[in-house]
Amino acid sequence: MDLYFMPLACSLATRIALYETGEGAHTRFRRVWFTTKLMDDGLDYRTVNPKGQVPALRLDDGTLLTEGAAVLQYVADRKPEAGIVPPQGTKERYRLQSLLNFIATELHKLILAQILDPATPEEAKRHAREVVAPNRLALLVRELAGRDFLLDSGFSIADAYAFFVLTLCPIAKVDLAPWPPLAAYYERMKARPTVARALAEEFELARAGV
Ligand SMILES: N[C@@H](CCC(=O)N[C@@H](CS)C(=O)NCC(=O)O)C(=O)O
């Protein structure tokens, strides 16, 4: 498989999932440069994925899978024994899908994507930081109430996606201080070797620019 990624983008969650399942070792990680949309071989990524967004996963049969929530579930379902996705059809699976959708639409897009897009007017960025973020982060804290991770079964792909969001919050100047449970949750995730490894690797890659 090939994972198309940008360092410290939402594709970080897929990298974590691949390390959790052990398939990272058999995956080609293909970097896409955010500003030019070029890959390291000079090819325009939009010829691969017209959306120009990561993550995208090229399967061995040539199929291209896009959209983080689907990509994450595909990776996790390939190795159910890794235990990072509940079985299909169970209530836990629907909770997972609900969480992935919440993280994608309410946290990733409504907060981070808004703030990090240079074209967003300052007023809209302020609204995202001061009004939207506190409301949605409070909801994330509620989802965690009484749990170490978002699912009772333990670390899952929903946590991997939330980890990306919480990593980017300080970069987007979203204040996490009012939410101590989120800091503890973040540290719990970072204590996992797969998460620490993925984060360190992507920080290193990001040092070369975006
Ligand atoms: N709907 C997509 C959105 C993915 C997305 O926003 N990816 C960002 C990185 S976190 C990206 O590729 N941005 C580059 C761009 O939009 O040009 C998904 O859920 O996977």
Per-residue model confidence (pLDDT) at position 167: 98
Residues 102, 183 share a domain: yes
How many angstroms separate the alpha carbon of residue 52 from the centre of ligand 1? 8
pLDDT class for 42, splitting at 50, 70, 90?
very high
In a domain, 204, yes or no: no
In a domain, 154, yes or no: yes
In a domain, 201, yes or no: no
Residues 101, 187 share a domain: yes
pLDDT tens-digit readout, 154-197: 999 999 999 999 999 999 999 999 999 999 999 999 999 999 99
How many angstroms separate the alpha carbon of residue 8 from the centre of ligand 1? 12
Residues 103, 177 share a domain: yes
| Of 6, 54, 28, nearest in space to 203 by CA | 6
pLDDT class for 13, splitting at 50, 70, 90?
very high
- Helix, strand and coil in the chain, % to nearest 5: 60, 10, 35
DSSP string, 126-161: HHIIIIIHHHHHHHHHHHHTT-SSSSTT-S-HHHHH
Our answer on whether the CB atom of 165 is closer than 6 Å to any ligand 1 atom is: no
Ligand 1 atom closest to Cα of residue 11 = 10
Per-residue model confidence (pLDDT) at position 11: 98
Domain range for 74 = 2-83
Looking at the structure of the chain, the number of domains it has is 2
Please, is 166 exposed, middle or buried when counting C-beta atoms within 10 Å of its C-beta (0-12, 13-18, 19+)? buried
Among 83, 118, 145, the domain-final residue is: 83
Residues 101, 70 share a domain: no
pLDDT class for 208, splitting at 50, 70, 90?
confident
> What is the share, in percent, of the chain residues with pLDDT greater than 70?
100
Per-residue model confidence (pLDDT) at position 210: 78
How many angstroms separate the alpha carbon of residue 54 from the centre of ligand 1? 5
The H-or-E segment that residue 17 falls in is helix 11-21
Residue with tokens 């309410």: 106
Report if pTM > 0.95.
yes
CA distance 139 to 120: 24
| 41 contact partners, CB below 8 Å, separation of at least 6 | none
Residue with tokens 């399967």: 59
